[in-house]
């Protein structure tokens, strides 16, 4: 049931009523925003390492006019912090969703659910560029999701279920199924979309039997279906974290640890892994699937993830779900250019980095012999191995399902990142003028209109505007 007024629309969810606020979109049309709505109980105390539980119901109208807390995390270090927005607003009730709707009194509008990235340790649904007003403007109900990050979300512990962060995402999708009609949405027309770790989460959801039937379409931006850890390897990361904490690697022992201490240990582990990604210490799958930057990631547990997503999808998981997936042409320039590594690295060092990740060095040698800088060649090969080839493999693994591939190639002039990781996000959301720190002072607004229209069309119809992938096809180019 929905009560609509000029200023303060009220929607009755399954847990209690919420009051949102009216917003004016970029075209002058009206929409409504309902922010910080809890979809699960606060994951603190005894629930920190438990499966997500329903929130306590409420009877008084709950204010939903401002974003809620974020999952525990530390900010990005420089220079990343200068080019990638992040907000840290700590609080217990961080398993929340933000909803934008063209009209809460509407019926059967398509729904787009956004899962943010951040290497499974950072990010939230409250970033400016993740605002769903532009999708609401164009006829979609948009839902942004928070979930448990880092050790609380993904550490593999005796006495706790694995993949708690993915279980949170599933709980959020179940909340959408049960509540989105009250906001004008159609629960049978849900598209789940994510970028980076969010896209890897989408691959996990696409492959998980626990998420079957909760969405009809999926979007993966700069992700893959291979970034998961074997159980034994995930436990090596947990064991190292426990050593730092000075406790046993069990849920009962970790329950006595303060959130601040856990966050500090998690940060120390991430730094140690990045400085010395030795598979003998961290586990082969963590080092390779984590792309050298992720220490906590989804785990093959035989339940939420019966196998690596790519393998489950090849065996038929995700049947009936249309997929839009792609990569940015210069993904790793985002990681290596601002720090100066692209300029400084030489050929032998670049080959060593590739070999350490298990990748072939043949193409790097060819590129350098052809005149390419070693740093640029290294970025190209890391991009190919981490994003391009796995995304193509995802498409090849589901030949009977509609899959649409794209490549984003618009260069940003910021710190040499080119068409690097995350640069496409403001274009997809049509928020380039809110992201000059990422896309530069003169973004291509026409490209933003085209990309946003393609994503909107896909969420509405399953067709982004180009043909489904067939083996050997070039991706659709946005540049």
Q: What is the pLDDT of residue 208?
A: 98
Whether 331 is a known active-site residue: answer yes
Q: What is the pLDDT of residue 357?
A: 74
The structure tokens listed for 269 are 């582990």
Confidence of residue 326 (pLDDT cuts 50, 70, 90): very high
The last residue of a domain, from among 319, 352, 376: 319
Collapsing DSSP to helix, strand or coil, 12 comes out as strand
Instruction: Check pLDDT > 90 for residue 146.
Output: yes
Q: Estimate the share of the chain in helix, then strand, then coil, as percent rounded to the nearest 5.
A: 40, 15, 45
∠ CA 39-45-48 to the nearest 5 degrees? 55
Q: Is residue 266 part of a domain?
A: no
Whether 381 is a known active-site residue: answer no
In this structure, are 313 and 457 located in the same domain? Answer: no
Q: What is the pLDDT of residue 76?
A: 93
5-9, 76-80, 86-90 — which is least confidently predicted? 5-9
Considering the chain, what percentage of its residues have pLDDT values greater than 90?
89
Q: How far does CA 291 lie from the centroid of its chain? A: 15
Cβ-proximal residues to 444 (8 Å cutoff; 6+ apart), any chain: 410, 427, 432
Instruction: Check pLDDT > 80 for residue 356.
Output: no
In this structure, are 42 and 114 located in the same domain? Answer: yes
Confidence of residue 4 (pLDDT cuts 50, 70, 90): very low
Instruction: Check pLDDT > 60 for residue 403.
Output: yes
Q: What is the pLDDT of residue 280?
A: 85
In this structure, are 311 and 436 located in the same domain? Answer: no
In this structure, are 342 and 307 located in the same domain? Answer: no
Q: What is the pLDDT of residue 254?
A: 95
No. of helices (H) and no. of strands (E), the chain: 20, 14
Q: Is residue 253 part of a domain?
A: no
For helices 362-369 and 347-356, give the axis angle rounded to 10 degrees.
160
DSSP letter (8 states) at residue 125: T
**Average pLDDT estimate for 250-276:** 92
In this structure, are 91 and 32 located in the same domain? Answer: yes
Q: Is residue 79 part of a domain?
A: yes
In this structure, are 331 and 210 located in the same domain? Answer: no
Catalytically annotated residue among 124, 131, 196, 222:
196
In this structure, are 90 and 222 located in the same domain? Answer: yes
Cβ-contact 420, 438 below 8 angstroms:
no
How far CA 223 is from CA of 132, 183, 310, 312, 393, in Å, comes to 21, 30, 12, 16, 12
> Greatest CA span in the chain, whole angstroms?
69
Q: Is residue 468 part of a domain?
A: yes
Cβ-proximal residues to 298 (8 Å cutoff; 6+ apart), any chain: 120, 154, 163, 165, 166, 200, 201, 204, 227, 228, 229, 304, 305
CA distance 65 to 409: 37
**Average pLDDT estimate for 434-438:** 97
158-167, 188-197, 274-283, 341-350 — which is least confidently predicted? 274-283
Q: What is the pLDDT of residue 26?
A: 83
Instruction: Check pLDDT > 60 for residue 195.
Output: yes
Q: Which domain holds residue 465?
A: 323-478
Mean pLDDT of the chain: 95
The last residue of a domain, from among 319, 348, 367: 319
Q: What is the pLDDT of residue 84?
A: 93
Instruction: Check pLDDT > 50 for residue 5.
Output: no
In this structure, are 303 and 373 located in the same domain? Answer: no
The CATH number given to whatever domain includes residue 23 is 3.40.50.1820
**Average pLDDT estimate for 294-300:** 95
Q: Is residue 286 part of a domain?
A: no
Could you give the number of structural domains in the chain?
2
In this structure, are 224 and 124 located in the same domain? Answer: yes
Q: What is the pLDDT of residue 81?
A: 95
Q: Is residue 129 part of a domain?
A: yes
CA distance 315 to 309: 10
In this structure, are 110 and 127 located in the same domain? Answer: yes
Catalytically annotated residue among 421, 431, 452, 476:
421
Q: What is the pLDDT of residue 2?
A: 39
Q: Is residue 259 part of a domain?
A: no
Catalytically annotated residue among 221, 331, 381, 424:
331
**Average pLDDT estimate for 136-164:** 97
Q: Is residue 289 part of a domain?
A: no
In this structure, are 350 and 305 located in the same domain? Answer: no
Q: What is the pLDDT of residue 7?
A: 67
In this structure, are 226 and 367 located in the same domain? Answer: no
């Amino acid at each position: 049931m929905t009560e609509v007024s000029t200023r303060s629309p009220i929607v009755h969810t399954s847990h209690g009523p919420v009051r949102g606020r009216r917003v004016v979109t970029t075209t002058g049309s009206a929409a409504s925003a309902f922010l910080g709505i809890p979809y699960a109980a606060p994951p603190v105390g005894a629930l920190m390492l438990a499966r997500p539980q329903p929130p306590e119901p409420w009877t008084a109208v709950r204010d939903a006019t401002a974003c809620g807390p974020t999952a525990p995390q530390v900010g990005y270090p420089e220079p990343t912090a200068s080019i990638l927005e992040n907000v840290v607003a700590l609080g217990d009730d961080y398993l929340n969703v933000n909803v934008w709707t063209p009209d809460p009194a509407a019926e059967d509008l398509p729904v787009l659910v956004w899962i943010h990235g951040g290497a499974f340790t950072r990010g939230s649904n409250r970033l400016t560029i993740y605002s769903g007003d532009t999708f609401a403007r164009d006829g979609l109900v948009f839902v942004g999701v928070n979930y448990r990050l880092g050790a609380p979300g993904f550490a593999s512990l005796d006495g706790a279920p694995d993949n708690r962060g993915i279980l949170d995402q599933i709980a959020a999708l179940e909340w959408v199924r049960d509540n989105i009609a009250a906001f004008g949405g159609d629960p049978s027309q849900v598209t789940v979309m994510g970028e980076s770790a969010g896209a890897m989460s989408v691959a996990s959801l696409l492959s998980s039997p626990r998420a079957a039937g909760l969405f009809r379409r999926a979007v993966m931006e700069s992700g893959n279906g291979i970034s998961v850890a074997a159980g034994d390897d995930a436990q090596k990361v947990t064991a190292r974290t426990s050593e730092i904490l000075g406790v046993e690697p069990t849920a009962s022992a970790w329950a006595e640890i303060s959130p601040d201490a856990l966050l500090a240990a998690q940060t120390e582990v991430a730094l140690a892994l990045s400085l010395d990604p030795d598979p003998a210490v961290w586990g082969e799958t963590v080092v390779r699937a984590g792309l050298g930057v992720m220490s906590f990631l989804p785990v093959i547990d035989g339940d939420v993830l019966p196998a690596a997503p790519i393998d489950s999808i090849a065996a038929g998981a995700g049947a009936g779900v249309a997929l839009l997936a792609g990569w940015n042409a210069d993904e790793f320039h985002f990681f290596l250019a601002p720090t100066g590594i692209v300029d400084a690295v030489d050929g032998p060092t670049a080959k060593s980095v590739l070999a350490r990740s298990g990748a072939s060095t043949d193409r790097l040698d060819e590129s350098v012999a052809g005149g390419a800088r070693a740093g640029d060649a290294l970025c190209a090969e890391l991009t190919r191995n981490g994003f391009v080839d796995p995304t193509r493999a995802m498409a090849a693994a589901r030949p009977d399902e509609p899959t649409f591939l794209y490549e984003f190639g618009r260069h940003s002039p910021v710190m040499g990142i080119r068409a690097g990781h995350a640069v496409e996000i403001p274009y997809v959301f049509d928020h380039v003028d809110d992201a000059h720190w990422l896309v530069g002072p003169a973004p291509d607004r026409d490209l933003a209109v085209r990309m946003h229209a393609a994503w909107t069309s896909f969420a509405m119809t399953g067709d982004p505007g180009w043909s489904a992938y067939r083996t050997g096809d070039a991706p659709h180019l946005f540049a």
